[in-house]
Amino acid sequence: MLQGLLILLCLAFTQAYPSPDPSLAAFLSDVNQQLSVIYDQEQLAFLQNELHGPNDLVALLQAELAHEKLLKYLGSISKRVAKFKRLRLGDALQRRQLQRMPQLGYEALSGAEVVQIYELAANMSDSYQNVQLCAYKQPLNCTLRLIPDVQRVVQQSRNLEEIEYYWLEWRRRTGLATRQQFVHFMELYKKTAKANGFSQAQDYWFHQLELSGQQAMGLLNELMSKLEPLFLQFHAHVRGSLRKMHGEQLVPHGRAYPQHLAEVFLGNSYRSASADWFVDIPSPEAGLPNITEALQRRGLSTTQRVFWNVAEYYRGLGLTQLESSLWTNAQPVASHNEDSCWHKAWRFYTLPTNNFSYCPLSDEERFFNMFEAQLELHYFRAAAAQPTLLREEPFPNFMNALGKSFALAAASPRYLRKLGLLRDAEWSGLPARLNRLYLQGLRVVFLLPVFYVLDRYRVEVLSGHIMADDNEAYWRHTERYTGAVPPRRRSNEHFDVPAKLLLEVDDQYTSQFFSTVLQFQLYKYFCTRTGQYAEDSANKPLDLCDLSDQREIGTILKHTMSLGSSLHYKEVLQQLLGTAELSMDGLLTYFKPLQDWLTQQNRDNGLEVGWLPN
């Protein structure tokens, strides 16, 4: 009996602490090696495309060949992967690598359906990027692209008929024109989910997050609920501004605002550096700082100088000093268009170094983008300790959240003043802070509900709750969660969903939603840990937190980045933050001074909060 008990205890111990399996170790070693070679071929092609532009046919061909090679290889090992998973061999690290094995995706479909789904995705993407509209009242001038041509026209126009014309025409050309393609794509996507082993298509939609559809939507609903009080106050204030600009007939009390007018207003938060345009900015006399002009004055007028300035920032956090050869070998990107010209780090798996491509433009956007790009460099180097299968981030845009949290810290008036980009202490005063928070809020707070609607709609299609082309359901969600309605009634005779899908029909926006929430959660954590933020302190509010030279951050950061995707994102968060859950608290704390101001302004001006359904 005692012997039997010992055997059971040994079995239990073995299951709780499984040992590495030699046959699985040999298999994974080969897989990691083969994938690293293929990934490098693909990355080199993407890098050439970035440097030479989208018309580099050689780079496009090389990328396609590398992708085909990857799919062929995954197909060749799929049975062995399935067998190892079924046998549940190996230790935790080996099992994790099996979990993170790339899936076949669309290639799991039958031959004809694979061709169809790629063609559908490409056609809809091409429609979004390349469709040309006819100019307002100029039927023979049909050469306007959405970005930048139409965008520039509507941002500057005061002709409401012209703005409405472009809003309607864009949806006619990119929405209604691709209706049947969208319906067919969603049907094939359901088949793709099943072919990849998912009984529920909505689970496949969120598989990169390693959450089920129910888990992901539950978390999204919870985060949206936490965001709602801030969003409702901000929405009420913006609606009041739109009413001042366009009149009560177009922007009635107690109703959702017209989407075409709100899009112009919100769009200017990305393009207008002047406080004058915003009719109800908190403090017109305080204005907004011109960081681009200050960069020129301070001598940070070239990308090279910005590169080394930001490198020194990260060195001050305790991260490794970047070597001079990194900049020597860096190359400028082909595009100088401000909408597509960004700095970027490039990861290679078999080569001992990383590459860096940069945008030659020297302005505010590119300055803060450098903090994000260099964080990518540090992330790639830290995660290189992991096998190829585990070098990715825990979920898409996780790395982006880290980079943006430090870009947020670098945008603090206290750091900008330390750097010499802001001269006066007034920029740290409440009036100037509110202006800055107002502009940031227009970019952040109003975008999250749009991400939510785009994913919720498609998840409801995949789960069978609504038809793929149920335009009325799309507008019910849009009105309910974003507080916007179309300028004219939209029925199921129209189809507007593809017009809001930002480039790709299969882009999943929940990861971007989570990334934005995590950005502020990380920022609050780092600021609290270093004593740069203290709750309810007038001297240490979150939006003034400066993280420069806080060396203790480096140790935490290096450990987190070195984990790659070896753990589920919740376990990574637990080790980093002491909690496994994403929280809206950081974002709400950051914008609390603005929310307090909005609440008081809405109350003082009799602005109604919320809206009745149309």
pLDDT at 428 over 70: yes
Query: In this predicted model, what pLDDT tens digit does every residue of 97-154 receive, in sequence order?
Result: 999 999 999 999 988 999 999 999 988 888 777 889 999 999 999 999 887 888 889 8
The residue type at 300: L
pLDDT at 3 over 60: no
Give the angle subtended at the CA of 479 by the CAs of 477 and 485, to the nearest 5°. Answer: 130
Domain assignment present for residue 216? The answer is no
Longest dimension (CA), the chain: 93
pLDDT of residue 14: 46
Return d(Cα 356, Cα 339) in angstroms, integer. Answer: 19
Q: For the chain, what is the domain count?
A: 2
Domain assignment present for residue 409? The answer is yes
Domain assignment present for residue 58? The answer is yes
Contact 173, 128 (CB under 8 A): no
With CA atoms as reference, report the closest residue to 410 among 314, 327, 331.
314
484-485 and 344-346 strand pairing: unpaired
pLDDT at 437 over 80: yes
pLDDT of residue 425: 79
pLDDT at 275 over 70: no
Which range of residues forms the domain containing residue 565? 291-444+511-591
pLDDT at 515 over 60: yes
Return d(Cα 264, Cα 151) in angstroms, integer. Answer: 9
The residue type at 462: L
Domain assignment present for residue 499? The answer is no
pLDDT at 15 over 60: no
Q: What mean pLDDT do residues 481-493 have? A: 96
Return d(Cα 292, Cα 273) in angstroms, integer. Answer: 10
DSSP state of 578: S
5-14, 88-97, 400-409: which range is least confident on average?
Answer: 5-14
Domain assignment present for residue 575? The answer is yes
* 538: number of Cβ within 10 Å: 7
124-133, 182-191, 473-482, 604-613: which range is least confident on average?
Answer: 124-133
The pTM assigned to this predicted structure is 0.94
pLDDT of residue 503: 58
The residue type at 415: Y
pLDDT of residue 5: 52
Confidence tier at 4 by pLDDT (50, 70, 90): low
Half-sphere exposure in the Cβ direction for 318 (13 Å, CA)? 11
Return d(Cα 13, Cα 268) in angstroms, integer. Answer: 61
Domain assignment present for residue 73? The answer is yes
Query: In this predicted model, what pLDDT tens digit does every residue of 500-513 receive, in sequence order?
Result: 876 578 889 999 99
Query: In this predicted model, what pLDDT tens digit does every residue of 302-332 receive, in sequence order?
Result: 999 999 999 999 999 999 999 999 999 999 9
In the numeric block, the tokens 């020597």 are attached to 328
pLDDT at 383 over 60: yes
Contact 471, 490 (CB under 8 A): yes
Confidence tier at 455 by pLDDT (50, 70, 90): very high
Contact 51, 62 (CB under 8 A): no
- φ and ψ of 135, to 5 deg: -65, 155
Helical ranges in 463-509 per DSSP H: 471-482, 497-500
Q: Greater confidence, 536 or 401?
A: 401
pLDDT of residue 155: 85
Query: In this predicted model, what pLDDT tens digit does every residue of 325-354 receive, in sequence order?
Result: 999 999 999 877 777 899 999 999 998 788
pLDDT of residue 270: 79
CA dihedral sign, ordered 271, 277, 279, 280: positive
Domain assignment present for residue 90? The answer is yes
With CA atoms as reference, report the closest residue to 588 among 317, 191, 230, 344.
230
Query: In this predicted model, what pLDDT tens digit does every residue of 563-584 receive, in sequence order?
Result: 999 999 999 999 999 999 999 9
Spatial neighbors of 554 by CB under 8 A, at least 6 apart, are: 317, 318, 319
The residue type at 227: L
Return d(Cα 508, Cα 285) in angstroms, integer. Answer: 41
**Which residues sit opposite 414 in a β-bridge?**
none
158-167, 259-268, 333-342: which range is least confident on average?
Answer: 333-342
Domain assignment present for residue 601? The answer is no
The residue type at 14: T
Order of strands, edge to edge, in the sheet holding 331-332?
331-332, 355-358, 344-346
For residue 603, with 0-12 CB atoms within 10 Å meaning exposed, 13-18 middle and 19 or more buried, which class applies? Answer: exposed
Tell me what the pLDDT averaged over the chain comes to. Answer: 92
pLDDT at 11 over 70: no
| Single residue among 78, 102, 126 that ends a domain in this structure | 102
